[in-house]
Amino acid sequence: MSTHHTAARRAEELRELIRHHEHCYFVLDRPEISDADFDHLVNELKAIEREHPELVTPDSPTQRVGGTAREGFVKVAHSAPMLSLDNAYSEDELRDWARRATELAGTAEIEFECEYKLDGLSMALHYEASEHGGARFVKGITRGDGSTGEDVTSNLRTIKSIPLTVSHAQLKKAGLTAPFEVRGEVLMPTRSFQTMNEQREEQGLAPFANPRNAAAGAVRVLEPNVTAARRLDFYSYFLLQEGRTARASQWEALEAMSAAGFKVNPNRRRAHSIEEVWQFIVETEAARDQLPYEIDGVVVKVNQTALWTRLGFTGKAPRWATAYKFAARAAITQIEDILIQVGRTGKLTPVAALNPVAIGGTMVSRATLHNQDEIERLGVRIGDHVMVERGGDVIPKVTRVVDDKDHPRGTRKFAMPAHCPECGGHVVRAEGEVNSFCVNVNCPARLRESLLHFASRKVMNIEGLGEALVDQLLSRGLVTNIADLYDLGEEQLLTLDRMGKKSVENLLGEIAASKKLPLERLIFGLGIRMVGERTAEFLSAHFGSLDALMAANEEQLLEVEEVGPRIAQSILQFFAEEKNQKLIERLRAAELNFTGEKKVRGTKLAGLTFVLTGTLPTYSRDEAKRRIEDAGGKVSSAVSKKTSYVVAGEEAGSKLEKAQQLGVAVLDEAALLKMLED
Ligand code: IVH
């Protein structure tokens, strides 16, 4: 058999395996193999596809990111209108809805089906028959105005819980034939949302207000890579054929989609009475805070789809379904003052001091206003009545000003102070940044926050070193920087309030244990501006020791994943500071762990520097960069005499010219691959 045939067989085998494991991981949340083993399968498939580009199929798991950005979105008509739902805000309203539905249905045998009301965006996914008796994802459309939406197929392809193909076996199991349409909700899990916002804040970008907005933005960007990076999820809740529901009951439709490999929320229930529906609602509301995504209610549908036609519609909503909405986790209250909080990096955050108000069972008296731009965008003044919202476990935030005759506008405008309210230091706002900073590195508020950050669970995990203790240590002058923590002795600690022999022993044990933590934690703990958890991990893996990181110049820092010029500058500034150098020497003397595990890299290209330019025939720029780096080479962005090779693809421009001027060797992709393989 020719190598082509062997490769084709192996590629198909790998695709099957990858699809199976993607389904286990992303749809069922039940992985069967390790991430590393999974990556291994994907890499093997990618290698085959690179060798035999003719074997690449559009629905190969390697083709989730379609690559190129587009000009705009094409409008597409829906097979049947995508409707909205009427709401019920109380048990009474829910009962009224059920009574009317039962009357109109003309049967007491009516059943209900309850689902979570996911707080995302609805989408319509179209599948068509594929060669092998299966089905293939061909089009994904936003809701739009309900009758026409936008074609966002390439972006939706990056969502791993959306199957690109459904096998013949799956269709059979589901009793389904293509073409068909699946409708459901795209959402961003709360954790992805928080991580994304933390990163944005570190980079000086405005955070997204809520997961829904972040998901909406991600679905409508013109660059599928951005959608992919936002880690979205998709839950299916409607199955249609020719614009009509494809099953006798909603329950069966959900089961069929699940059997076909779609992600269907397991939190659902059939109910035979409104009491049972209510029970589900009560349980759901109690579980709401523990869910990994946001929901804003429960959707109750009449289960028997034959009754749907009989019940019909009112305006834009069906009578056979309703949305029971939870009490809004938002409330109107007055801003009494706008205070300034100084963070560990010296960042000044305006915080609204609120007239305390209960939101979803918690009293809220503070809400973040993020920064000066946000205050201007909202048009908030001190004394205004505002809407305050609280999401999952997100900090409450002001979302808009409420301006009506009962709520006259406030009169005092807020302005970012020129001096730090904690220490009187100068406040600066760098060109192009949204955040303002206190420039005094000795600002007591910064010190307090940096100690709390250093001791926190994700950093050095020093349990017991919380606010109360940090405040005492500071006011007694026992600690003036993080290194002082490692000099604390039993006697000093015993003099503090509420510190008995046992708690002192525990604390000293915790402090001692923190010395052994991985290097990335220490890097994160130093509090270098724009260096968050992720960047710290990359830095540790890249340099392998704190000394190597400290010795790195800008060019070397820029080689690290996700480190751009601004982060590089911030790192350089931090280590250039004499005070910080002294601090690090004391941490070394205290025997903290200064070395980490350097990512094992090849050595084939060690000592060589590459510059990539133009479009390569098969590799993306990022892939080529990774391959070079994995082989020990460096990739830099500008051509200089130190450049070993310029790798040029199509439409290579000025960098190629520069290489020729300087006499730097130029390679094409094939030559690069050869170097990697030899
Ligand atoms: S059924 C006519 N089921 O709520 C049917 N919708 O207000 C409408 N939603 O646009 C959709 N979770 O974005 C349905 N389990 C669920 C839902 C759900 C969230 C959203 C959906 C829709 C909106 C209707």
Of 29-33, 84-88, 186-190, the poorest mean pLDDT is in: 29-33
* CATH, domain range 87-325: 3.30.470.30
Q: Whose CA is nearest to atom 18 of ligand 1?
A: 117
How far is 492 from 476, CA to CA, in rounded Å? Answer: 10
SS3 230: coil
Parts of the chain belonging to CATH 3.30.470.30: 87-325
Place of tokens 């059997």: 259
In this prediction, residue 393 carries a pLDDT of 55
Stretch(es) of the chain classified as CATH 1.10.150.20 = 417-599
Confidence category of residue 598, pLDDT binned at 50, 70, 90: confident
pLDDT at residue 585 is higher than 50: yes
Q: Measure Cα distances from 148 to 80, 82, 144, 395 in Å.
A: 10, 9, 6, 36
Task: Say how many C-beta atoms besides its own lie within 10 A of residue 358's C-beta.
Answer: 10
Q: Which of 78, 82, 85 to mutate to test the pocket of ligand 1 (most atoms within 8 A of CB)?
A: 85
Q: Would residue 458 show up in a list of annotated catalytic residues for this protein? A: no
For the stretch 441-459, pLDDT in tens is 789 999 999 999 999 988 9
* CATH code reported for the domain at 330-402: 2.40.50.140
Our answer on whether the CB atom of 117 is closer than 6 Å to any ligand 1 atom is yes
Phi, psi angle pair for 670, to nearest 5°: -60, -40
pLDDT at 143: 93
Cα separation, 590 vs 462, whole angstroms: 16
Give the residue-averaged pLDDT of 639-646.
Answer: 89
Asked whether residue 479 carries a pLDDT value surpassing 80, the answer given is yes
Alpha-carbon span 22 to 523, nearest angstrom = 34
C-alpha 656 – ligand 1 centre gap (Å): 53
C-alpha 347 to ligand 1 mean position (Å): 40
Say whether pLDDT at 583 is over 90: yes
Residues of the chain with CATH 1.10.287.610: 3-63
User: Whose Cα sits closest to atom 16 in ligand 1?
Assistant: 117
Rounded to whole angstroms, how far apart are CA atoms 186 and 545? Answer: 41
Query: Cα(75) to centroid of ligand 1, in Å?
Result: 21
Q: Determine if ligand 1 sits within 6 Å of the CB of residue 115.
A: yes
CA of 156 relative to ligand 1 center, distance in Å = 18
Decide: 334 and 383 in contact? Cβ < 8 Å.
yes
Residue 67 has pLDDT above 50, yes or no: no
Distance CA 277, CA 93 (A): 13
Longest Cα pair distance anywhere in the chain, in angstroms? 86
Q: Measured between alpha carbons, how far is 481 from 176 in angstroms, rounded to an integer? A: 66
Q: What is the pLDDT of residue 36?
A: 74
526 pocket-lining for ligand 1 (C-beta < 6 Å): no
Question: 417-599: which CATH topology?
Answer: DNA polymerase; domain 1 (1.10.150)
**Angle (nearest 5°) at CA 202 between 200 and 204:** 70
Q: Is the CB of 27 under 6 A from ligand 1?
A: no
pLDDT of residue 1: 47
Q: In the numeric block, which tokens belong to residue 53?
A: 């580009």
- Using a pLDDT cut of 90, give the percent of the chain over it: 58
pLDDT-derived band at 410, boundaries 50, 70, 90: confident
Closest to 190 measured CA to CA, from 447, 393, 471: 393
For residue 83 and ligand 1, the question of a CB distance below 6 A is answered with: yes
Question: Distances in Å between the alpha carbon of 172 and those of 136, 259, 303?
Answer: 15, 9, 23
Q: What are 253-295's pLDDT values in tens digits?
A: 999 999 999 999 999 999 999 999 999 999 999 898 889 999 9
Distance between alpha carbon 49 and the CA centroid of its chain, in Å? 30
Among 57-71, 273-287, 477-491, 538-552, the range scoring the smallest mean pLDDT is 57-71
| Mean pLDDT confidence for 416-426 | 93
Q: Which of 46, 117, 172, 263 does the annotation list as catalytic? A: 117
> Of 109-118, 581-590, 593-602, where does mean pLDDT reach its minimum?
593-602
Tens digit of each residue's pLDDT (9 = 90 or more) over 559-571: 887 788 889 999 9
Secondary structure of residue 70 in the 3-state scheme? coil
Length of the chain: 678
Q: What is the mean pLDDT of residues 646-652?
A: 87
- Report d(CA 548, CA 632) in Å as an integer: 16
Q: What is the CA radius of gyration of the chain?
A: 29
Residues of the chain with CATH 3.40.50.10190: 609-677
Over 70: is that where the pLDDT of 6 sits? yes
Name the residue of 79, 82, 89, 118 to mutate for ligand 1: max ligand atoms within 8 A of Cβ: 118
The pLDDT of residue 237 is 97
Cβ-contact 53, 80 below 8 angstroms: no
Mean pLDDT of the chain: 89
C-alpha dihedral (42, 48, 52, 53), degrees to nearest 10: 10
Q: What is the DSSP letter of 335?
A: E
Task: Give me ligand 1 centre to Cα 116, in Å.
Answer: 9
- Average the pLDDT over 388-407 and give the result: 82
Q: Please determine, for residue 665, whether its predicted confidence score (pLDDT) is greater than 50.
A: yes
For ligand 1, atom 23, the nearest C-alpha belongs to: 84
How many C-beta neighbours within 10 Å does residue 282 have? 12
Q: Is 80 exceeded by the pLDDT of residue 198?
A: no
Residue 66 pLDDT > 80: no
- For residues 197 and 66, give the distance between their C-alpha atoms in angstroms, rounded to a whole number: 25
Specify the fold of 609-677.
Rossmann fold (3.40.50)
259 CA → ligand 1 middle, Å: 21
pLDDT of residue 594: 96
d(CA 483, CA 208): 36
Nearest CA to ligand 1 atom 17: 117
14-47 per-position pLDDT tens digit? 999 999 998 988 888 788 887 778 888 988 999 9
The answer, yes or no, to whether residue 225 has pLDDT greater than 80, is no
Q: Which residues lie closer than 8 Å to 132 by C-beta, 6 or more apart?
A: 167, 168
Ligand 1 contact via 422 beta carbon (within 6 Å): no
CATH classification number, 3-63, choose in 1.20.58.220, 3.40.630.30, 1.10.287.610, 2.40.110.10: 1.10.287.610
**Is residue 242 scored above 80 in pLDDT?**
yes
Q: Select from 78, 97, 185 the residue to mutate for testing ligand 1; criterion: most ligand atoms less than 8 Å from CB.
A: 185
Can you tell me the mean pLDDT for 477-481?
Answer: 92
Beta-carbon contacts of residue 561 (< 8 Å; ≥ 6 apart) = 538, 542
The pair of three-digit structure tokens given for residue 252, joined into one six-digit string: 């069966």
